[in-house]
Amino acid sequence: MSFVTIVATKLREEQRNAFFLCASLSLLMLLWPVVFTQPPRFVLRIAVCNILLITSAAAFYKSLPGKIISLALCACLSVNFAIDFSTYSIYESEFNVAFAMSVLTTHMREIKSMASLYLYYMPVAIAHFSFTLIAIHLLSNKINRRQSIVSFVLLVLFFSWFSFSCWSKKQKDKEVYYPLAARILVNTPFYVAADFIIANRDNQLAAKVGQGGENYTNLTWQDQNIETYVVVIGESARRSNMQLYGFPLSTTPAEMKISNNALIFEKAIAPASATVLAVPMILSRADAEHFTVDNLSQNIVNAANKAGFNTYWISAQGNSGKSNNYVAAIAAASHHLHWVDGHYDDELLPWFDDALKQPGKKVIFLHINGSHELACTRYPESHDYFHTGNKYEDCYNNAIRFTDYFLAEVMERLTNRSASLLYFSDHGLEKNAQLESVYMHGSRFPSKEAYDVPQFLWYSDNALKSQPRKTGKIEMPWSTANNYFLMLSWMGIKTGEPNCRSLFDACFQPDNTFPVMDGGRHIFEYQQLRAHFNDPKPDITVKKASKNSL
């Protein structure tokens, strides 16, 4: 054997070894987050499809168009991997529709505040891209024409098989929530795109919520001797971190003083673990099992408008995508809409002051950032109160205390008015000791922590003197999905139908079940969930939504 032959053979062996190494690393990296969040059959489908894609790309790689296609393919695979890997690393969950909706409707300030969490994983994504492209390049030198044709045919058969299977299933079950494209993509290495397709569809449906709405043809209003109603929609506040509910640190000094003027809900339960799902259900007739366009259209803003209130929506959550999600679609019906691009929640107060100056009966919605991740960015340095040595615990508790300060400022402005304020958090947060920032949104199969929220209804002295009000503590579990009905009674609005889901109505009966939704739109019974994130996951049944649910 000649020297040239020996060298050529050695080079081929090295190239073969390099190919297997790069291809294996690429595949293992892609599957890493999937293995921990999905069943084995899903992992197998992703692996098979990924191998066929790389093989087919190698078949076309020798031409310039083939190289361009391969680069695009590698980029798409790596973006999918980066999104799912970072989501799993931060939240110990797969990427889901709630995350996708948040991405599509986020704003620049939130992107900047969250960037530090995700940029940390950028080198891993670059490594995946490099391994995948090198594997395609090396394989292109080895694959022959026949192998190229076989790999491409197998890829087409794979997609055709799953496409037909998904189409058949869709025809059989008439499921409206999952679009056909999402059903197909979820079986491929581009499975994250399926969540974005659903999220985009949901955003388009949300526009109908803002455009339509119940006519409330039988609506009537009875004066409750309250001129100004305020609804403060909190964000990511855990009930267990509030002094008002027994937390040992002084996180809610102002709220500790309101008991004589307030109705405090001891066991409020949010209907979802993400803002984009929870807030629409809290403000409308919709609930976890009946999340329909019609129910979302029947919301408290539309009802208040019809009853003759002047409605204000003042939000610290940004104006990007304000016409494209359920929260903003409901908000858009307000007579006065302000998206305040500020740093902290107290920057809403000047807008609130302007609304208070306007004459007539009014309801003012204040949507705050509260203690949303990253909590360290949710309050100014002047409110850096806790210094226990645990940075992220201190940050979160400081953010809770800053919300307490904000509520105190709002109530102070209402003191000399006949006014009432309803405060609740949209959802809670789970506590993950293995996560650097400790607290995280509940995602797939959350614990009760993701739904345990604070809620209270406060009256000014003038409002209490004008007529009897219910104050004290509500010890029974209360789903904030009933808040729409509670607010109707609170504001003296009758829709012509019995309002038996309102605590203030004579026909009220306490709930026996508490359906809640996770970020992936799965529905569970709250009472069956584990208490804390680190507890073992129970074997619980996923509930079915109503036929027309989104």
Closest CA to 353 of 316, 314, 380, 383: 314
CB 109 within 8 A of CB 339: no
HEC per residue, 116-181: HHHHCCHHHHHHHHHHHHHHHHHHHCCCCHHHHHHHHHHHHHHHHHHHHHHHHHHHHHCCCCCCHH
CB 70 within 8 A of CB 60: yes
Indicate the SS3 state at residue 93: coil
Decide: residue 174, CB within 10 A, 0-12 exposed, 13-18 middle, 19+ buried.
Answer: exposed
Angstrom distance (rounded) from CA 265 to CA 173: 40
pLDDT the model gives residue 94: 79
Instruction: Specify the amino acid at residue 263.
Output: L
Query: Which residues, at least 6 apart from 210, have a Cβ–Cβ distance to it below 8 Å?
Result: 323, 328, 329, 330, 332, 333
pLDDT the model gives residue 115: 59
pLDDT tens sequence for the chain (550 residues): 453 344 344 445 666 778 888 888 888 988 888 888 788 888 888 888 888 888 888 888 888 888 898 899 999 999 999 888 888 887 777 787 777 877 776 666 666 665 566 677 788 889 999 999 988 888 888 777 777 777 778 778 877 877 777 777 666 554 445 677 888 888 788 888 888 888 887 777 766 776 655 568 899 999 999 999 999 999 999 999 999 999 999 999 999 999 999 999 999 999 999 888 999 999 999 999 999 888 999 999 999 999 999 999 999 986 444 444 788 889 988 999 998 988 899 999 999 999 999 999 999 999 999 999 889 999 999 999 999 989 999 999 999 999 999 999 999 999 999 999 999 999 999 998 877 778 888 877 899 999 999 999 999 999 999 999 999 999 999 999 999 999 999 999 999 888 999 999 999 999 999 999 987 788 999 999 999 988 888 888 888 777 777 6
Find the helix packing angle between 40-60 and 64-91, rounded to 10°.
160
Please state the domain extents for the chain: 3-205, 219-528
Indicate the SS3 state at residue 431: strand
Task: State both tokens at 105.
Answer: 């409707």
User: Dihedral, CA atoms, 212, 197, 543, 281, nearest 10 degrees?
Assistant: -30
pLDDT the model gives residue 510: 93
Angstrom distance (rounded) from CA 340 to CA 42: 43
Class for the domain spanning 219-528 = alpha beta
Q: What are phi and psi of 364, to 5 degrees?
A: -115, 120
How many H-runs (helices) and E-runs (strands) does the chain carry? 17, 14
Angstrom distance (rounded) from CA 29 to CA 7: 32
Angle at CA of residue 456, ends 91 and 248, nearest 5°: 65
Angstrom distance (rounded) from CA 58 to CA 73: 11
CB 94 within 8 A of CB 80: no
pLDDT the model gives residue 109: 62
pLDDT the model gives residue 116: 61
Angstrom distance (rounded) from CA 480 to CA 240: 17
Could you tell me which residues are beta bridge partners of residue 453? Answer: 268
Angstrom distance (rounded) from CA 545 to CA 522: 9
CB 338 within 8 A of CB 365: no
Angstrom distance (rounded) from CA 521 to CA 272: 9
CB 241 within 8 A of CB 396: yes
HEC per residue, 478-496: EEHHHHHHHHHHHCCEECC
CA 302 from centre of chain: 24
Q: What is the DSSP letter of 381?
A: G
pLDDT the model gives residue 106: 67
Indicate the SS3 state at residue 307: coil
Cβ neighbours of 361 (radius 10 Å):
19
Task: State both tokens at 413.
Answer: 């402005």
